[in-house]
Chain A
Amino acid sequence: MRAKNGKVSTRAVIDRQDFQQLFDHLSAQGYQLVGPRLRDNAIVYDELSAVTDLPIGYVDEQEKGSYRLTKTAQPTLFGYGLGPQSWKKYLFPPVVRLWQAQRHNGGFDVIPEDHEPRLLALIGVRPCELKAIAIQDRVFMGGAYADPIYQAQREQLFIVAVNCGKAGATCFCTSMDAGPRAASGYDLALTEILEANRHIFLVDAGSEKGEAVLRTIPQRPATDLDIAAGERIIAQTAEQMGRVLDTNRIKEMLYANYEHARWDQVAARCLMCGNCTQVCPTCFCTTVEDVTDLSAATAERRRVWDTCFSLDFSYIVGGSVRASPKARYRQWMMHKLATWIDQFGSSGCVGCGRCITWCPVGIDITEEARAIRSDSEDKRFTPATGGRKHEHA
């Protein structure tokens, strides 16, 4: 159990039959567990109390604009990929009341909102999602002004990551250097290993908090064989990536193609519904709504998820800055893949593929980027090899 230096081994193995103890231990520490659950034919994130709440045996089939779940006889706890929701719903909730005001003797009193963060244990955070959280950390806490609501909740997390044992057809985390192995930002990272005669979790502790938890549950040090089995799974997943995004000088490539004909083509297919922005784990735009009651005795201000696909989003005096659908799609993709780099020092995309799967008409960001690159007027950006690993109809 203990390595020679007296510390708990950071690479350990937990048996499936002991896995519930991880849940029990985190619950006993006051954490509310949240993680994947089956609802309405999809896997969403919701509260968990037992391992059996997980979508055991479910696997997903994803393609652009399509998501289907199947129940298999396999006892896997994490055999599926990403669902439509991301963890931002806990760190950056869709609707937040910022404050209320009450009219009082001709003036008004502001009643501040108490944003009490919850102790949350996120179960089953995928590597690309860890990267998405790191990106949102930079957005909300990186500059001179931190978002207090985000920050308070961020400090109350215990993160149990799960390395991916299968890549979906819309996944491209390897292109974005975001997976399929959890690099950092977790307390514990698991690799689920299901073989003919055993069902185990290879565990890496990524923090002292994680080590402390690991110490309290039944585990044994990982053998070379265990580690090799885990490596095989991750290597296999990396091989399965359904999509590829050529990120070579992508910022310059897109900046050189503001007027590419492809923007018109994609605008003709785009519904302007905003689904891609809502499912994206890094999209962070909000609007602020002021509401009064009928008697104007009380008012409140709310922060609500917004989308750059709406006209109101870019409305200023004189009208919407991005009136055409083309301008709005271009804004979203340009920001995600190019201007984000100038703004925050990294891409805004982690290759999770949600915007591809959950676009009702299956617009594929990797396909759009490829079309622009391959037909770039500026030949410096033309890919040498076509840049595509797998063909998709």
Chain B
Amino acid sequence: MPESKKPKVAVWKFASCDGCQLSLLDCEDELLAIADAIEIAYFPEASSTVIKGPYDISLVEGSITTPHDAEHIHHVRRASKVLITIGACATAGGIQALRNFRDVRQMVAQVYASPAYIETLSKSTAIADHVFVDFELRGCPINKAQLVEIVSAYLHGRKPNIPRYSVCVECKRRGTPCVMVAEGALCLGPVTQAGCGALCPAYQRGCYGCFGPTETPNPRALSEHWKALGTSSDEIVRLYRTFNAFADAFRKESEAHEG
């Protein structure tokens, strides 16, 4: 197959920790197959080579937090046939969206010696709030097997196997007893999308909600149950406000418990 026939893939970064794009480099077993199947045309984290667009697939990491980024994402969209967002920052605003619940100007004034040099938006938002996104791959960080799955699916024009049901289904499949029922742990699993393989409950920790809300979550019912178990409103707010704090269902639920 001639070099130019390989699908061109670009990896873009916005406000993020780089962990999700590193998942691509972390695909040790599949890395050669990836390099064989696609042409990495733009991936500053991995290579200084830049091949001009348009790109067949763009993987976009990070949230939009600055006026510059809000502009730049439109260029990325125009240069991409398929745009896939990867990770909680790109799909929900990330941990940095915690600032969305505060006055960002006040924080900038407190943190920086010369606040005037800081150009930032009042909110950290998901890529899909700015441009059309073909697929949102959840997770903080994303699961590398799901990354390979989504790229394979798009390359070969098939349906990706990325379930949108709860983490509980993964717990049960791997045989992990429910940490909420058996130990009274506060677990976001029942309202969180599968994808991590139910990692935390396998180590007897409640789910932190890294993969964001399920397709039709019911966090209200979960909070009611936690309250009945004696959980305070403050704690409920904290549970929903982590990596996917600004995902709609989690945001609304945390706001409902704010004093």
Show the binding face of A for B, using Cβ within 8 Å: 39-42, 44, 65-69, 83-85, 89, 94-95, 268-275, 278-279, 289-296, 304-305, 307, 309-312, 325, 357-362
Contacts and interface: CB of A to CB of B under 8 A. Distances in A.
B43 interface: no
A325 B216 contact: yes
Contacts of A68: 182
B168 A292 contact: no
Nearest to A361: B225
Contact of A273 (B30, B153, B191): B191
B113 interface: no
A40 B164 contact: no
Contact of B221 (A39, A84, A270, A279): A270
Interface string B154-186: 011011010111101100111111111111100
Interface in B103-137: none
B149 A291 contact: yes
A323 to B, nearest CB: 8
A294 B152 contact: yes
Contacts, number: 147
Contacts of B222: 271, 360-361
A274 B169 contact: yes
Contacts of A360: 168, 178, 180-181, 187, 189-190, 222, 225
A94 B183 CA distance: 24
Contacts of B161: 289-291
B28 interface: no
Contacts of B183: 41
A105 to B, nearest CB: 16
A297 to B, nearest CB: 9
Contact of B175 (A44, A268, A312): A44
A294 B33 contact: yes
Contacts of A312: 163-165
| Residue among B38, B169, B184, B187 with max Cβ neighbours from chain A (10 Å) | B169
Tell me the dominant secondary structure on chain B's binding face. Answer: helix
B34 interface: yes
Contacts of B218: 268-272, 325
Interface in B215-256: 215-218, 220-222, 224-225
Interface residues of B, number: 50
A358 B159 CA distance: 32
A58 to B, nearest CB: 13
A269 B177 contact: no
A275 B156 CA distance: 33
Contact of A84 (B36, B173, B177, B187): B177
A311 B152 contact: no
Contacts of B214: 272-273
A67 B181 contact: yes
A39 B190 contact: no
B37 interface: yes
Contact of B217 (A41, A272, A361): A272
Contact of A295 (B33, B174, B175): B33
Contacts of A358: 178, 181
B70 interface: no
Contacts of B36: 294-295
Contacts of A291: 149, 152, 161
Contacts of A294: 30, 33-34, 36-38, 148, 151-152, 155
Interface in B3-46: 30, 33-34, 36-38
Contacts of A305: 169, 172-173
Closest 4 CB pairs of A and B: A42-B177, A278-B172, A273-B190, A310-B165
A307 B169 contact: yes
Contacts of A310: 163-165, 169, 215
B190 A271 contact: yes
Contacts of A271: 166, 190-191, 217-218, 221-222
A279 to B, nearest CB: 7
Contacts of B190: 271, 273, 275, 360-361
Contacts of B164: 310-312
Nearest to A275: B168
A68 B185 CA distance: 12
B176 to A, nearest CB: 7
B109 to A, nearest CB: 42
